[in-house]
Structures are given as structure tokens and as C-alpha cells.
Amino acid sequence: MAVSGFEGFEKRLELQFSCDQVSSIGLRELDFKSLEQVLHHVQCTVVSALANQHFDSYVLSESSLFVYPTKIIIKTCGTTQLLKSVQPFIRLAQTLHLHIVSLRYTRGSFIFPESQPHPHTSFNDEVVFLNNNIPQTLCYRKASVIPSKLSSHSWHVFSAGAGAGVEYSDDVTYTVEVCMTDLDKTLSRKFFRHPNDGKNGDSAGKQMTEVTGIGCINPNAKICDFAFDPCGYSMNGIDGDRYSTIHVTPEDGFSYASFECVGSIYDDDVPEMVKKAVKVFGPGTVSVATTGAGDDVCMRIFKGMEKIGMKGRSWSIDEFLAAGTVVFQTFTSRRNRIQ
Ligand SMILES: C[S@+](CC[C@H](N)C(=O)[O-])C[C@H]1O[C@@H](n2cnc3c(N)ncnc32)[C@H](O)[C@@H]1O
């Protein structure tokens, strides 16, 4: 951990691959040892895993990894070097005759930016690194920092694709990334372990899932959870072909929690899930970045947040040829106002 405190804000990478003849399991064919070697470059490890017929999910020492037949999603926090996984993942996929067709990198604003190692020393450094480490075939590129009215919350996006709209052309799903800071202190305490409780990371995590209400956010999801010692919590939820994930840094002074899930334009349970997830933490500030959803989904998220006492502070939109529309909303709790 950095001397200042633990950096909760995750870096997130989504890599989409394609192949002339994709086997039914595609990237899921990669052996665990190869994945561990990539994670070694990033500087994190697997602490727990869960899979179904659609994808594999891993809880990491710093956040999560999801492996689908043609897609990898990895988010890591702390001082991990996430972008060092780009080339190794592309090379591993090539061994299965899969080639990369799009990449999306997103993150919020670090609480402790000065503690980040290269290439995460600044967004500019990250963009230079990405431009130098992805193939020329990903020629539709754009980097943007989406601002908000809260100086502590901006949304950093880099997207690259082999064709305009290649990633989302026939995709009916969208992604919601929620970042929460200044968590309610009483609720945060639930993410601290009890000394000598005789539990391990898995059983303590299971108990946290139950007592905090996280298990009720999507009652259909199977959950893989882990409690860190002395505090901290991570979970992956799997529901058919959709994942959800929560990570919690409960320490006072730099408390942070994130919720991420996938929605479909054909159903409308995501705004309700976002509302339930935010209620678990009672945060002072919340940002919600929605990628590839329509206005009505964003409006329902906005209204849901206002219903639970959050005041909408900003709503910004940016367009990415390779990723679609990104809507970035911020909120503050009516219990306090943080600039
Ligand atoms: C990995 S978890 C969740 C990460 C997530 N991005 C977040 O901050 O919400 C981080 C929390 O676990 C705690 N923790 C305890 N042991 C840890 C370990 N070995 N590796 C990473 N975090 C650990 C940290 O202090 C922090 O509170």
C-alpha cells in the first residue's frame, strides 16, 4: 500500500477479440498459469474464482478479471500496473488465432495520483503507453477526460477500434461503472473483519455479502466474495452471461466503493441495481459512467439516485467511434456537499 493510503479507484480495461472460426470457449481455453503470468506483470493475484457456461470470473488481490470466449475485462486498483497486461493478453489471444478488434480503457480520478507507478503517472502517460502498445489495426482512436462539476471526479476514457462501431454494432448490452467516495462510516465498519473470528477470506466475505445487503442487489446472481484482512471486500456476481462486481476500501479518510454491471436494452433492472448498490454504502459522492446505453437508461439511473437522497450535480456526454456514447453523471449526498 502507498504510504498515503490505499488507492480504491480502479483502472479498467476491456479487450474485444475476433476470429474467423471462434471455438465455443475461445479465450476460456487459456490455461490458468498463463493468466497468472499476465497478472504477475500487473502485480496482482487471484484470490477466488467462479464460472458458469458463459464466462470465467476471478476475484483478484486488487479487483477482478472476467474472461469470455472473445472478451477480457480486467479492473485493478491500488498501485497495480494494469496497462502492462495489454501486450501479454494480445499475444496470448494470438496463440488461439484470436485478434484484437477493440480496446477500451477507463478510470476515475485517483485519490493519490502521486503514488501511481508508470505508465499510470498521468492520463497523458497512459495514452502514450497505449498508443505505443496496441497494433496499428486499431486505428479509430480517441482519448478524452470527461469533466464534472466535482473537481475530484473526472472520467478518463481511451478507446481504439479496428473499425468505427466495431465493438458495439450488434451489441445490445451496455456497461455501468459506479464510483463512490466518502462512505458512511457506520456502513463502512461492516467491511472490517472481527479479530479472531475463526473465519477465512471466503467465509468472512460471505458473511459481509449477507449482512450488508449486497446479496440482495441481484438476487439471481451467484456470488464469489472475499474479505481482506483487516478490512476490504471484493465480489463478483454471475447471472447468465452478465457479470457484476463490487470492491470496497472502507478505511476512513480514503473510503471508496465501486459497483459495476452489464445491462441490456431489452430489460430495465440496472437502474434499480445501481440504486440498491449505492444504498449499501451511503456515499458522500457518486459518479456513474454508462457506456453504450440510451438516454432513457441514464435518466432512470439519475431519477433513482435522486429518490435515495442524492443530488445530481452534472451530466456530461462524449462519443467514441470504437466504444459508443459515454454518459458521465455525478451526484452528492444531501447529507453534505463536497466540491
Ligand atoms: C482489494 S480491496 C478492494 C479494491 C477496490 N478497488 C476498492 O478499493 O474498492 C482493497 C481493500 O482491501 C484492503 N486490503 C487488505 N489486504 C489487502 C491485500 N493483500 N491486497 C489488496 N488490498 C488489501 C485495502 O486496504 C483496501 O481496504
How large is the average pLDDT for residues 38-65? 98
Q: Name the residue with the closest Cα to ligand 1, atom 23.
A: 228
Domain containing residue 53: CATH number: 3.60.90.10
Q: How far is CA 328 from CA 92, 262, 286, 295, in A?
A: 33, 16, 11, 12
In a domain, 193, yes or no: yes
Q: Name the residue with the closest Cα to ligand 1, atom 9.
A: 248
Q: Is the peptide bond before 230 cis (omega within 30 degrees of 0)?
A: yes
**Residue among 63, 64, 255, 258 flagged as catalytic:** 63
Question: What is the DSSP track for 17-68?
Answer: EE-TT--SSGGGGS-HHHHHHHHHHHT--EEEEEE-SS-EEEEETTEEEEE-
Confidence of residue 334 (pLDDT cuts 50, 70, 90): confident
Span 252-262, pLDDT tens digits: 999 999 999 99
The domain total for the chain is: 1
Give the three-state DSSP class for 169.
coil
In a domain, 291, yes or no: yes
Q: Name the residue with the closest Cα to ligand 1, atom 13.
A: 232
Confidence of residue 165 (pLDDT cuts 50, 70, 90): low
The rounded distance, in Å, linking the Cα atoms of 96 and 108 is 33
Spatial CB neighbours of 194, under 8 Å, sequence gap ≥ 6: none
In a domain, 6, yes or no: no
Q: Which domain holds residue 72?
A: 11-336
Question: What is the DSSP track for 211-254?
Answer: HHSGGGTSTT-EEEEEE-SSB-EEEEEEETTEEEEEEEE--TTS
How large is the average pLDDT for residues 27-51? 98
The rounded distance, in Å, linking the Cα atoms of 164 and 223 is 35
Bridge partners of residue 48, in order along the sequence:
59
| Per-residue confidence (pLDDT) for residue 174, from 0 to 100 | 95
In a domain, 228, yes or no: yes
In a domain, 86, yes or no: yes
Contact residues of ligand 1, CB 6 A cut-off? 6, 8, 10, 61-63, 77-78, 228, 231-232, 234, 247-251, 256-258
| Per-residue confidence (pLDDT) for residue 337, from 0 to 100 | 44
Would strands 63-67 and 71-76 be described as parallel, antiparallel, or unpaired? antiparallel
What's the gap in Å between 101 CA and the centre of ligand 1? 32
- Torsion, CA 326, CA 332, CA 337, CA 338, rounded to 10: -40
| 63 in catalytic set | yes
How large is the average pLDDT for residues 245-270? 94
In a domain, 290, yes or no: yes
Span 198-242, pLDDT tens digits: 999 999 999 999 999 999 999 999 999 999 999 999 999 999 999
In a domain, 72, yes or no: yes
Q: The complex's ipTM?
A: 0.95
Instruction: Supply the pTM of this predicted model.
Output: 0.96
Residue 228 assigned to a binding site: yes
Residue 89 assigned to a binding site: no
Q: How far is CA 207 from CA 52, 184, 190, 256, 274, in A?
A: 23, 19, 10, 20, 21
How large is the average pLDDT for residues 284-294? 96
Q: Which atom of ligand 1 is nearest to the CA of 60?
A: 1
In a domain, 4, yes or no: no
